[in-house]
Amino acid sequence: MTRLGIAWVAVAALLLAAGARADVSRAKASGEPSRLRIGGPLEMAPFAYLDQSGVYTGFSVDLLQSVGQQLGIENVFFYPALPAESLRALAEGEIDCIHSVRYTPELAQKFIFAAFYLESPSLIFVIQERYDLASLQDLLGKRVAVLEDDPAYGVLKRIRQVQLVPVKDIARGFFLLRNGGVDAYVGERLTTMRFLGESNLSGQVKTVGTEVARSRFGVLVRTDEQDLARRLAKGFADVERSGIRERIFNQWFGEKIQPQPPLSRRVLRWVFIFVGGSLLVAMIVLGWNLLLQRELALKAIAIEKAQLDKTIAEEKSRFEAIVQSMTEGLMLVDPQGRIAYLNARGAQYLGRRVEDLLGHPLGVLNEHLLAVAADREVLARKLEYAQQYPSNPLVIEYSAVTTRRQEIRLKLFPVRDRQGEYAGRGLLIEDVTHEREVERLKAEFVSIASHELRTPMTSILGFSELMLTQELPRPLNQRYTEQIHKEAERLTRILNDMLDLSYLESGEGVLEIKQVHFGELINEVVESFQAQLKDRRELKISLAPDTGVLWADRDKLSQVLWNLLSNADKYSPPGKPVGLEVARREQPEPEWNLSRDETALIFPALELRVIDFGQGIPPDHLSLIFTPFHRVETAVHTIRGTGLGLAIVKRIVEAHRGRVWAQSEPGVRTVFTVLLPLRSRAGSQEG
């Protein structure tokens, strides 16, 4: 994250803190559930940091969320900021506590350390090939990189013979270490090992000697919050006792770096190599005569064996090619319950490396499956049954939740030899996520069709039957005719939505690209839209004068505007306005989280925002509202729709190489944002 980005986050944190104080006052007045406001560092991976999506995450964040759940605190809010700003906010009561605070006597005099939840030593890290450095004593006269805020800095500073090289971050320290700028790096163990694991440097570095210093990290509260300190201490004790802390710790911190073996072991190893080499030479000399005598026989055997090996290798290669090209994963387990074979597709579906599973008991696989399963209890019962009856065929389906949700099907079958004896077990692994999604869409389509299509058809048939079988007064006949026409139009819109979505998703359609004056298009769509509004809802329009001209499909953009305005109108209470804002953008906003490639492709761009002040969209639905047939459950039961309008908007915008997303504050407002690139027909930027 750039310094500008951190500054924006700090400002946002201050605004959130001010808003939180107002929320707390309202909560106390209305009797809402308790909440906990927690400050913390902006960048202290893996304790706490902002990831690429701008989400505040880390070991301390997950641990404190678990503590809040143990204490029954319904709302836990995090306010990342610079250390000085966090201490000021705590002192002034804007936040309740600060996490990931390293213990110092100065802080202990001003605040209370409610709980120490992590201790970590500072160790000496050197390149694997450095055998001359084995302890702190060996660092005398050497150049040593160390973080300025690490407690080891003060320890090493008192040793005059050590040449200290202060660094601002771990990456700089290891850059100097790998390029010979320093002889060793001294740093806190957990964060350093996390960095080495993410940088694939674990195999190049080792630790030597004992710890140089030790850091304790805890939660800081004000001295007048004794009750909060006791509650937090109890929460941490409960999390420790229940094993939750251990699981979170294992999730965030990687495997240990193997320390350098002691000098005696290295000497002994070279002795064994020398003795073994000498014995090998002696055996070769003694056996040479025997080898000469058996040379003819061995040559014949070697030729036969070579032919047999070639045949076996060809068969194995053919079998491997077939198995590796399977769309399903394949695993074979020997009679002792150890994994004997796993193809690459199976490892991909399971989210593990082949070498991590081969030769291990089947229980290792079961532990991994349970760790990522959405419903662990159900899967545990099925795996237990499979273990009790290994010779019975069995099909197990479960949902795996890792970086995305997958639906996995396991087909277990016994493997028997030519005599019919049990020789192990086979396991076919299939990713059926797409099949389940197709089934969901099919079910949604049937549900939509059975309701949204049947309703207008029922009205049409009912009114037309009355008109055919009865003599009706002219006014009533006119009213029934208008109702039939209205329902026919509604039916046509539903069918057109389905056809449009199918047309866009098939990829067969071609956009009719031409110059579009966006301001004129806005005025036309708004005028037409206002004409069909029943309650004459107010449209607040903000149209920038420099929107310019873009190359696009005019009819498709009209459909995007119409769908977004119609959606805002449907979900806005009576009397509430709908906002429409159009502006030109030269660069994206940081919170949009666009990649460098997306920025180069889209900008300069037109930004279109449609704003309604309805009940909003729940956070867990924001990523789903652009999928076909998805509708948010609402208390306003009179709202009709197929769940296709936003899906069509997304396909049309992306066909124009644009982007669309939604942001919502439940109970306040919802904003749909569309970005359309301002580019000429030849691909150059519009001026």
Q: What's the confidence (pLDDT) of residue 260?
A: 46
Q: What's the confidence (pLDDT) of residue 642?
A: 67
Mapped to the 3 state alphabet, what secondary structure does 93-136 carry? Answer: CCCCEEEEEECCHHHHHHCEEEEEEEEEEEEEEEECCCCCCCCH
Tell me the whole-structure pTM to 2 decimals. Answer: 0.39
Q: How high does pLDDT run on average in the chain? A: 81
Matching residue, tokens 């009865």? 470
111: CB partners within 8 A, 6+ apart: 90, 220, 221, 222, 223
Query: How would residue 506 be classed by pLDDT, with cut points 50, 70 and 90?
Result: low
Is pLDDT larger for residue 44 or for residue 248? 248
Q: What's the confidence (pLDDT) of residue 145?
A: 95
What CATH architecture applies to the domain 436-506? Orthogonal Bundle (1.10)
49-75 in b/e form (b: 16+ CB < 10 A) is: bbeeeeebbbbbbbbbbbbbebbebee
Mean pLDDT of 7-26: 44
Whose CA is closest to 220, among 208, 207, 209, 233?
A: 233
Q: Say which range, 86-100, 165-179, 638-652, 667-681, has the weakest mean pLDDT.
A: 638-652
Mean pLDDT of 464-474: 82
Query: Is residue 541's pLDDT more than 60?
Result: yes
167-214 per-position pLDDT tens digit: 988 899 999 999 999 999 999 888 888 888 888 888 899 999 889 998
Q: Do domains 326-431 and 513-677 have the same CATH topology?
A: no
Q: What's the confidence (pLDDT) of residue 509?
A: 62
Whose CA is closest to 664, among 632, 638, 635?
A: 632
Mean pLDDT of 96-109: 90
For the four alpha carbons of 444, 445, 447 and 448, in that order, the dihedral sign comes to positive
136-153 in b/e form (b: 16+ CB < 10 A) is: bebbeebbbbbbeebbbb
Query: Is residue 681's pLDDT more than 90?
Result: no
Q: Can you give the residue ranges of every domain in the chain?
A: 265-308, 326-431, 436-506, 513-677
For the four alpha carbons of 238, 241, 245 and 251, in that order, the dihedral sign comes to negative
Q: Say which range, 126-130, 219-223, 440-444, has the weakest mean pLDDT.
A: 440-444
pLDDT over 70 for what percent of the chain? 84
The fold of the 513-677 domain, in CATH, is: Heat Shock Protein 90 (3.30.565)
Q: Rounded CA gap, 200 and 207, in Å?
A: 16
Mean pLDDT of 445-469: 71
What CATH architecture applies to the domain 326-431? 2-Layer Sandwich (3.30)
Query: How would residue 453 be classed by pLDDT, with cut points 50, 70 and 90?
Result: low
Query: Is residue 518's pLDDT more than 60?
Result: yes
Mapped to the 3 state alphabet, what secondary structure does 200-254 carry? Answer: CCHHHEEEEEEEEEEEEEEEEECCCCHHHHHHHHHHHHHHHHHCHHHHHHHHHCC
What residues does 669 pair with on adjacent strands?
Answer: 665
Mean pLDDT of 497-512: 65
Is pLDDT larger for residue 114 or for residue 34? 114
Is pLDDT larger for residue 261 or for residue 33? 261
Whether a cis peptide bond, with omega within 30° of 0, leads into 619 is no
CA separation (Å) from 663 to 40, 465, 617, 621, 625?
A: 26, 47, 8, 11, 11
Query: Is residue 40's pLDDT more than 90?
Result: yes
Mean pLDDT of 160-171: 90
CA separation (Å) from 13 to 438, 551, 667?
A: 42, 40, 22
Q: At what angle do helices 170-178 and 189-198 cross, to 10 degrees?
A: 70
Q: Rounded CA gap, 625 and 618, in Å?
A: 10
Q: What's the confidence (pLDDT) of residue 464?
A: 83
Is pLDDT larger for residue 312 or for residue 175? 175
Query: Is residue 266's pLDDT more than 60?
Result: no
Q: Rounded CA gap, 332 and 92, in Å?
A: 63
